[in-house]
Amino acid sequence: MNRKLVKTIACFALAVVLGGPWQARALDTKTPYPTMAPIEQYLMADRNAEIALARSAAPESISRDAEVLVLGRQGYETAVKGKNGFVCMVERSWTAGIEDPVFWDPKIRGAICLNPPAARTVLPITLKKTELILAGRSKAQMSEGIKDAFDKRELPAVESGAMSYMMSRQAYLGDSAGHWHPHLMFFAPETDAVTWGADLPGSPILTFGYSQDRLTVFLIPVAKWSDGTADLTDKH
């Protein structure tokens, strides 16, 4: 599996600090999505379609009772109240790393369902990033805003057991990745990949992490999409 691709597509709940704004601008010139598109392109006109897409991140048995968030012009809003502590939503491109060529790709639809610990401690990062981006901040300013929020303890440390489902067949994770594979993600405080045996040849665990978010993310591909159909793309 292409590890770089994993970093690109795997988690739209995270961002990266790579360096100063000039660095980000230099990278921007090489990407097909150098700047933010008009906000309308990131929004989904059909609210019910966004709710359905968000829920498709996990099997219906989980997402049925989850809280569902949808993206509005000012940020995410609760569209459906939940009962089981899970939160489902469709993440947009700015939760990718800031060096990522898809950072402004308006087609990105990262459907995700977060378990209760992740909803408490990972979701706030996504919400904060979205707030900053929709307020017109640059990538670098967004990164700085996240760092400041952690420093001021406005963002919590990740809780033990935080994980999420990304099993939507309809999700779109970028021009290279497409739908990629159904997978689970586990969030941990910054951890050496080798502690989980991740990213080693033959290991079923992949990882990436961004110091800015103070997280390491471990991914485990699974065999089926949330609708129960088999993932027939090349074996992971």
Partner 1 sequence: MKRTMDRRVIQVTWVLFGVLSVACQSQAQNAQTPYPSMAPIEQYLMADRNAEIALARSAAPESVSRDAEVLVLGRHGYETAVKGKNGFVCAVERSWMAPFDDPEFLNPDQRLPLCLNPPAARSHLPLTFKMTELALAGLSGTQMFDSIKAAFDKKELPLPEPGEVCYMMSKQQYFGRKYGNADPHLMFWVPKTDDIFWGAGLPGSPVYVHQYSPEPITEFIISVSKWSDGTAAPTD
Interface with partner 1 (CB under 8 A) = 58-62, 84-86, 113, 115-117, 160-161, 163, 165, 167, 182, 184, 188, 191, 194-197, 200-205, 220-224, 226, 228, 230, 235-236
3-state secondary structure of 53: helix
Measured from the CB atom, the residue of 134 and 167 that comes closer to partner 1 is 167
Beta strands in 33-154 (DSSP E): 67-72, 75-80, 87-91, 110-114
Helix (H) or strand (E) holding 49: helix 47-55
Please state the closest distance from residue 163 (CB atom) to partner 1, in A. 6
Closer residue to partner 1 in complex, CB, 34/204:
204
At its nearest, how many Å lie between partner 1 and the CB of residue 222? 4
Nearest approach in angstroms of CB 232 to partner 1 is 10
- Bridge-based pairing of strands 206-210 and 183-188 is unpaired
The SS3 call for residue 224 is strand
Instruction: Name the minimum Å distance from CB 10 to partner 1.
Output: 16
Q: 29 or 61, CB closer to partner 1?
A: 61
Q: Answer for the pair 172, 179: CB distance below 8 angstroms, yes or no.
A: yes
